[in-house]
């Protein structure tokens, strides 16, 4: 039995879909049974619980041999991940696949990369097998700019000339699914990227080409940008942590592409052009 966490979220949802298509025996730990109804419809057992509650985590882990650990960023993230790992070890889980981040390198100073570095270390020390999935920037983050792309033909971000090798979460999920269902991925770290290194001006150019209308990248001062998104973040910790991440991207912290998708999945990674085509309704006014 494979236990999924984060299965009602972006990467976890995509991983659940990929694994359900392979008929893997799946259980998901979810907070809201109604929100998780599509998972149940796909044949996934649901256990209602919360990652901050050790009893519900232990309950969800009964009889589980492999687990996918996806926890969103918060000042509780590290504690929840460590608690999950300790419960998993007790429950006899053999292999944990963790969603980490490409920015989680030794010596990282940002709060979120440091959480991933410490969580990875805790998993490695547990004695269970592990696979670290370490993606670049998600293409799906661009959906947050869909409103301004559609209405103003502009995307506002604070990335300066920083490049990313952004990856589609469908590729990240497919690599996770491979790590959970195939042999040979134990005790390996996979940096997952898309096929191209792009500045956000080049990202806007891709939108212009696919949408057939000029889309401009408007580089926005980091402070001003954070003021506009702060109401959507959890608290001051989260605002500071995301500010650090964006500053790091602007400084070139994600300028790296890999051939992980080709090696693990035997095909090319999904391109930005394909991602935009697949989300045309979100980005282009009807
Ligand atoms: N965005 C990027 O570009 C990027 C790049 C590299 C790595 N990452 C990493 O990706 C991770 C986030 O993944 P994501 O974007 O797929 O997450 P997401 O879409 O925000 O989904 C979070 C999931 O976790 C669940 N969850 C939240 N709190 C929970 C709790 N207390 N107990 C049980 N479940 C809980 C949510 O359930 P509900 O539906 O109930 O809320 C949801 O299923 C972070 O660790 C981040 O560092 C992100």
Q: Is 71 in the pocket of ligand 1 (CB under 6 A)?
A: yes
pLDDT of residue 178: 98
From the CA of 169, give the closest atom in ligand 1.
16
Q: Is 12 in the pocket of ligand 1 (CB under 6 A)?
A: yes
How far apart CA 60 and CA 199 sit, in angstroms, is 42
How far apart CA 228 and CA 94 sit, in angstroms, is 44
Look at ligand 1, atom 26, and give the residue with the nearest C-alpha: 6
| pTM, 2 dp | 0.98
pLDDT of residue 275: 98
pLDDT of residue 102: 97
From the CA of 51, give the closest atom in ligand 1.
32
How far apart CA 40 and CA 17 sit, in angstroms, is 11
Query: Which residue, 153, 150, 154, 156, is CA-closest to 284?
Result: 150
| CA pseudo-torsion sign 229, 167, 147, 149 | positive
Give distance in angstroms: CA of 179 to centre of ligand 1: 19
CATH match of 2-135+169-193+258-264 with 3.40.50.720:
yes
From first to last of its 286 residues, the chain has per-residue pLDDT tens of: 999 999 999 999 999 999 999 988 999 999 999 999 999 999 999 999 999 999 999 999 999 999 999 999 999 999 999 999 999 999 999 999 999 999 999 889 999 999 999 999 999 999 999 999 999 999 999 999 999 999 999 999 999 999 999 999 999 999 999 999 999 999 999 999 999 999 999 999 999 999 999 999 999 999 999 999 999 999 999 999 999 999 999 999 999 999 999 999 999 999 999 999 999 999 998 8
Q: Is 31 in the pocket of ligand 1 (CB under 6 A)?
A: yes
pLDDT of residue 286: 82
What are 174-213's pLDDT values in tens digits?
Answer: 999 999 999 999 999 999 999 999 999 999 999 999 999 9
From the CA of 7, give the closest atom in ligand 1.
43
Give distance in angstroms: CA of 36 to centre of ligand 1: 14
Pocket test for ligand 1, best of 3, 5, 6 (most atoms within 8 A of CB): 6
Give distance in angstroms: CA of 218 to centre of ligand 1: 28
Burial 222-231 (b: 16+ CB within 10 A, else e): beebbeeeee
Q: Where are the domains of the chain?
A: 2-135+169-193+258-264
Which residues are CB-contacts of 97 (< 8 A; sequence separation ≥ 6)?
66, 67, 68, 69, 130, 131, 133, 176, 179, 180, 185
Give distance in angstroms: CA of 212 to centre of ligand 1: 33
């Amino acid at each position: 039995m494979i236990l999924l966490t984060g299965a009602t979220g972006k990467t976890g949802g995509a991983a659940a879909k990929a694994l359900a298509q392979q008929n893997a025996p799946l259980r998901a730990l979810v907070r809201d049974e109604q929100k998780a109804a599509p998972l149940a419809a796909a044949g996934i057992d649901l256990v209602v619980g919360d990652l901050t509650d050790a009893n519900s985590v232990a309950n969800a882990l009964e009889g589980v041999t492999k687990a996918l650990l996806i926890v969103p960023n918060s000042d509780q993230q590290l504690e929840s991940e460590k608690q999950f790992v300790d419960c998993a070890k007790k429950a006899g889980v053999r292999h944990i696949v963790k969603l980490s981040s490409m920015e989680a390198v030794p010596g990282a100073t940002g709060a979120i990369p440091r959480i991933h570095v410490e969580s990875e270390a805790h998993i490695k020390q547990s004695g269970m097998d592990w696979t670290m999935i370490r993606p670049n920037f998600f293409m799906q983050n661009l959906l947050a700019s869909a409103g301004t792309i559609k209405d103003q033909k502009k995307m506002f971000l604070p990335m300066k000339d920083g490049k990313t090798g952004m990856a589609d979460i469908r590729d990240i999920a497919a690599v996770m699914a491979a790590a959970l269902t195939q042999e040979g991925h134990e005790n390996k770290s996979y940096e997952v990227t898309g096929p191209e290194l792009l500045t956000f001006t080049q990202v806007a150019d891709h939108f212009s080409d696919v949408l057939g209308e000029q889309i401009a990248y408007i580089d926005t001062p980091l402070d001003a940008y954070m003021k506009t998104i702060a109401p959507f973040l959890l608290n001051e910790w989260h605002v500071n942590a995301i500010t650090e991440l964006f500053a790091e991207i602007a400084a070139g912290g994600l300028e790296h592409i890999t051939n992980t998708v080709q090696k693990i999945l035997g095909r090319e990674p999904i391109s930005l052009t394909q991602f935009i085509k697949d989300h045309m309704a979100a980005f282009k006014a009807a």
